[in-house]
Amino acid sequence: MRRTVTALALLSMAVSGSAFADPLIELATSTEATRGRDVVHTKSICWLETPFGEYRKIRLNEVVHFEKVSDRFEPATDAAVRSQLRDRLGREYAVQSVGDYVVAASPQRVEAYGEHLNEVSRSVKSYFSRRGFRLQDDGKPLVVIVFSSRKEFLQYAEQERETPGETVLGYYHPISNRIVSYDAGSGNEISMAMRQTLAHEAVHQLCFNFGLMSRLAQLPTWLVEGLAINLELPNCRANSGSQKQRVHRDQLLQLSQLLKQQQLELGPFIANDKIRFRDDTLNAYAISWGLTFYLMETQSAQFSAYLEHIGRRSPLSPYSESERLADFQQFFGNDLSWLEVRLQRYLQELSNDLTSTRMSVVPGS
């Protein structure tokens, strides 16, 4: 108990002593020492961000040594990140710095992945800048690993305690701050499925690294995933083309099938989406896409204000069902039943437009 109080007191003094930058500190237990910046701490734990962008959770009652190493925390350089990845992955993989990213992948496609990711980064940052968001960039490289086999992908995921489903091509891990994926294809071309996967995960990574969301905050899953599903499409990121061209057709088809069988029940979903994501994953993603697309297209100002409000949530703060509902209703109104009616009409019109477009195409033309 005495050690906990001492560690907490020293930690608080070190952090409060730097007005313009986070200090680099070291917390050591009996088994390891970790250097980084204090992201958030309570009376019992501290989350440190290492120079490589990883988060480490340290229990303060286990701390045996505390040290303020420097007045200023500095992210690892691109060269240091490349060296770390080469040591981890071996010579089979090429590691390149491309714009915002350090990409590790097969030599044949590493450059193509980097170019695609940087196009996504530019368009996502432009999307949010046009809507008045102030992006924060601390200069740390964003790491993306694309394995050449599913076996390697699953072995790596197991080390991060991730269990990707059979159809999952990749994921963003908020603790390691890395995108991890696999592409078993050959040649220099990137498949459309791979492009969408990397874009989807890149939206997550960008939102959590440019000050739009906190990696340790409790957030509505439907919002986090709905935003990524929409912005994985180039026309949505650029807000270009017609509304039909911004529709995610696979998600609309999934949602249209669901609406033939049941109502959306938005209130319970907004209050607690974890149950549906756990038990009915495909439909949870489809509902998330539909709700987010509707709000982005029809109430863009309110949606941006809501997103900014959610982005200010403090790390580790609990987020009750009543608070989730109240936050949503603050920006989109109290009558969720009427919102659900309007949303279902909107989705039906989109589905009808999509069907009529398909029927108007003459086979072989």
| Per-residue pLDDT tens digits for 213-244 | 999 999 999 999 999 999 999 999 998 888 88
pLDDT tens string 80-117: 999 999 999 999 999 999 999 999 999 999 999 999 99
Mean pLDDT for 157-182 is: 95
pLDDT tens string 129-148: 999 999 998 889 999 999 99
Residue 358, pLDDT > 80, answer no
pLDDT band at 155; cut points 50, 70, 90: very high
Percent of the chain, pLDDT > 90?
84
pLDDT at 282: 95
**What fold characterizes domain 2-70?**
SH3 type barrels. (2.30.30)
Three-state helix/strand/coil letters over the chain: CHHHHHHHHHHHHHHHCCCCCCCEEEEECCCCEEEEEEEEECCCEEEEECCCCCEEEEEHHHCCEEEEEECCCCCCCHHHHHHHHHHHHCCCCEEEEECCEEEEECCCCHHHHHHHHHHHHHHHHHHHHHCCCCCCCCCCCEEEEEECCHHHHHHHHHHCCCCCCCCCCEEEECCCCEEEEECCCCCCCCCHHHHHHHHHHHHHHHHHHCCCCCCCCCCCHHHHHHHHHHHCCHHHHHCCCCHHHHCCHHHHHHHHHHHCCCCCCHHHHHHCCHHHHHHCHHHHHHHHHHHHHHHHHHCHHHHHHHHHHHHCCCCCCCCCHHHHHHHHHHHHCCCHHHHHHHHHHHHHHHHHHHHHHHHHCCCCC
Mean pLDDT for 188-209 is: 95
pLDDT at 205: 98
**What fold characterizes domain 78-209?**
Glutaredoxin (3.40.30)
Residue 283, pLDDT > 60, answer yes
Q: Which residue has the higher pLDDT, 15 or 235?
A: 235
Q: What is the pTM of this model?
A: 0.92
Residue 364, pLDDT > 80, answer no
